[in-house]
């Protein structure tokens, strides 16, 4: 157990729907990162939050949004889902934002859009 908790582990939904993925960071970690892992694109950085504030944005679609709450858990919202959104979504956390801090990853949420 890495200490980063992601729920749900699996999610199957239809095109056009909206889902919410949840992440609880490791105790003491203030920074949360979301990544999308697909076979063709590999691991793509989506977005980062630090202590409730957005800090960096990557290849995140406008249909996707995220937030980090006062208790530091984070949610990734995916709307108007398309077949191509099927992927593994990982959350990672780190103690701070410095480049020398490694990430601790959760076990991921596998999203299947049908």
Partner 1 sequence: AQSVTQLDSQVPVFEEAPVELRCNYSSSVSVYLFWYVQYPNQGLQLLLKYLSGSTLVESINGFEAEFNKSQTSFHLRKPSVHISDTAEYFCAVRNSGNTPLVFGKGTRLSVIA
Contact (Cβ atoms closer than 8 angstroms) between residue 58 and residue 46: yes
27 binds partner 1 (CB under 8 A): no
Min CB(110)–partner 1 separation in Å:
9
What mask of x and - would describe binding to partner 1 in positions 40 to 79, judged by CB under 8 A? Answer: --xx-x--x------xx-x---------------------
Identified binder of partner 1 from the candidate list 90, 93, 111, 113, rule CB under 8 A: 90
Q: For residue 105, report the phi and psi dihedrals to the nearest 5 degrees.
A: -100, 145
Tell how far CA 99 is from the center of its chain: 19
């Amino acid at each position: 157990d890495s200490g980063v908790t992601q729920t749900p582990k699996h999610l199957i939904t239809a095109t056009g729907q909206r889902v919410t993925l949840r992440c609880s960071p490791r105790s003491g970690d203030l920074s949360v990162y979301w990544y999308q892992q697909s076979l063709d694109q590999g691991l793509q950085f989506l977005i980062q939050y630090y202590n409730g504030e957005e800090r960096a944005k990557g290849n995140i679609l406008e249909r996707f949004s995220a937030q980090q709450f006062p208790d530091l858990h984070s949610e990734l919202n995916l709307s108007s889902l398309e077949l191509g959104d099927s992927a593994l979504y990982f959350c990672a956390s780190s103690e701070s934002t410095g480049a020398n801090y490694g990430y601790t990853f959760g076990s991921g949420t596998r999203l299947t859009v049908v």
